[in-house]
Amino acid sequence: MADLYLKALTAERRALWAECRLKGLAKDTPQRLRIVEIDALLAAHKAKQDAKGA
């Protein structure tokens, strides 16, 4: 079964990253900060899934 939470976070991250690259946004912009936040959420989700599967 597809992990919809993971797909949604990945899609949001991809869209934000494309926007940042297109506009040349600096590291301290809200979009870049959200990418960092999403990376942390993805890592936590992956760790949870790894612990659940073990």
For position 54, what pLDDT does the model report? Answer: 66
Over 70: is that where the pLDDT of 1 sits? no
Query: What's the whole-number average pLDDT of the chain?
Result: 92
Quote the pTM value: 0.87
pLDDT tens sequence across 6-26: 999 999 999 999 999 999 999
Q: Using CA atoms, how far apart are residues 53 and 47, in angstroms rounded to an integer?
A: 10
